[in-house]
């Protein structure tokens, strides 16, 4: 379990070291970062390597509706039970962003989840390829907001000393950290891949606390303002970090396809995908939606930027 944490920490430091070297040697010929690898910091429900200019406030409105299985009786889920996330991100320094958001619900039926997050673009791809890819690091911590009374009478076994206790506030927390590598191949094609580590402080005794996921996202521009976009998240089965003898309800991969319309300060993305979660850890740890009509949902993401 701990091995993976160390692995991710090391991985991030490797990137830091290579960044520092780039600085030390100095690039003689001026080489500028490529513009707009993606149109916004959010792609459907995923993070991109893009961070807006310094002192920019970004508002996010994210919606995922119910599954489309009921057809016209609830207008393909649009009048079903929706998941909503409202978020604000602020760019505190060049390529560094902090943010917070509140999500209506998670897969475990929480009523509201507060998340705090940070993103840092370590490396930006340049036009003359002196840096061929952009690299970003994203991390968040989320606290579920169910009433404490839900935990009444629930017995929890502490990992530290194996004693049995009742609920502690720290058991509400979950974490997600991700390393993202992206490349803008040309004006119309940008692709990115990521590896992530998800941790929940408390799970039911049949589940795992940790999950490693891989992520693929992309954009194919079809017109000056319009793009086809996709995200794919795959939770990995890694025996070494599992605490169980067998896999119980192993989370299912999530595929989302959508269309993006963007302007200078707006991005509007409408999509269909096989997950109802809006928080990445919720998706990687608990997604049970199949890629068929019982699991697909319609959703949209709106971002709005304000410069200060």
Partner 1 sequence: MSIMKRYSIFLILIVFSLFLGGCKYDFILPEEVPVIDTTKPVSFATQIAPIFVAEKCTSCHNTQAPKLTADVAYAQIVPAFINAGTPANSKIYSVPVSGTHYAKYSATEAALILAWITDGAKNN
Contacts to partner 1 by CB under 8 A: 1, 5, 9, 12, 16, 23, 92-94, 96, 98, 116, 118, 120, 137, 139-141, 154-160, 164, 168, 170-171, 173, 175, 177, 199, 201-206, 209, 243
DSSP 8-class letter at 126: B
CB closer to partner 1 out of 3 and 204: 204
CA separation (Å) from 294 to 5, 67, 250, 290? 35, 6, 18, 7
CB closer to partner 1 out of 75 and 156: 156
CB closer to partner 1 out of 118 and 291: 118
CB closer to partner 1 out of 167 and 300: 167
Query: In the Cβ-directed half-sphere of 39, how many Cα atoms lie within 13 Å?
Result: 28
CB of 22 to partner 1, least distance (A): 12
Whole-angstrom distance, CA of residue 118 vs CA of residue 266: 21
CB of 213 to partner 1, least distance (A): 15
CB closer to partner 1 out of 35 and 160: 160
CB closer to partner 1 out of 66 and 258: 66
Whole-angstrom distance, CA of residue 41 vs CA of residue 52: 7
CB of 85 to partner 1, least distance (A): 18
277: Cβ contacts below 8 Å, ≥ 6 apart: 45, 64, 83, 106, 107, 283, 286, 287
CB of 103 to partner 1, least distance (A): 17
CB closer to partner 1 out of 241 and 256: 241
CB of 230 to partner 1, least distance (A): 27
Whole-angstrom distance, CA of residue 233 vs CA of residue 291: 12
CB of 199 to partner 1, least distance (A): 6
User: Whose CA is closest to 83, among 69, 70, 66?
Assistant: 66
Task: Look at residue 207 and give its three-state secondary structure.
Answer: coil
CB of 141 to partner 1, least distance (A): 5
Q: Which two tokens mark 44? A: 């459907």
Q: How many CB atoms neighbour CB 275 within 10 A?
A: 30
CB of 3 to partner 1, least distance (A): 13
Q: Which two tokens mark 113? A: 């989840």
Helix (H) or strand (E) holding 173: strand 173-184
CB closer to partner 1 out of 69 and 257: 69
Whole-angstrom distance, CA of residue 54 vs CA of residue 98: 11
Q: Which two tokens mark 165? A: 């206790």
Backbone angles phi, psi at 110, to 5 degrees: -65, 155
Identify the residue whose tokens are 């997050």: 117
């Amino acid at each position: 379990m701990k091995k993976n944490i160390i692995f991710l920490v090391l991985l991030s430091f490797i990137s830091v070291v290579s960044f520092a070297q780039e600085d030390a040697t100095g690039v003689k010929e001026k080489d500028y970062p490529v513009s707009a690898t993606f149109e916004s910091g959010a792609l459907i429900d995923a993070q991109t390597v893009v961070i807006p200019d310094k002192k920019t406030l970004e508002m996010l409105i994210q919606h995922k509706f119910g599954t489309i299985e009921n057809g016209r009786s609830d207008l393909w889920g649009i009048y079903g039970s929706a998941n909503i996330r409202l978020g604000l991100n602020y760019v505190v320094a060049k390529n560094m962003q902090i943010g917070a958001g509140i999500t209506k619900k998670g897969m475990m039926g929480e009523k509201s989840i507060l998340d705090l997050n940070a993103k840092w673009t370590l490396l930006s791809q340049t036009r003359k390829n002196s840096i061929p890819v952009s690299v970003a690091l994203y991390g968040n911590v989320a606290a579920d907001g169910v009433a404490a009374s839900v935990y009444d009478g629930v017995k929890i076994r502490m990992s530290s000393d194996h004693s049995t206790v009742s609920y502690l506030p720290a058991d509400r927390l979950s974490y997600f950290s991700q390393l993202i590598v992206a490349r803008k191949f040309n004006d119309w094609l940008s692709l990115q891949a990521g590896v992530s580590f998800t941790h929940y402080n408390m799970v039911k005794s049949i589940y795992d606390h940790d999950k490693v996921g891989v992520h693929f996202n992309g954009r194919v521009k079809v017109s000056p303002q319009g793009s086809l976009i996709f995200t794919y998240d795959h939770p990995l089965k890694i025996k070494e970090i599992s605490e169980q003898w067998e896999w119980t309800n192993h989370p299912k991969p999530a595929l989302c396809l959508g269309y993006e319309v963007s302007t200078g300060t707006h991005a509007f993305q409408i999509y269909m995908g096989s997950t109802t979660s809006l928080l990445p850890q919720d998706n990687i740890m608990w997604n049970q939606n199949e890629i068929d009509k019982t699991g697909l949902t319609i959703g949209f993401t709106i971002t709005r930027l304000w410069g200060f």
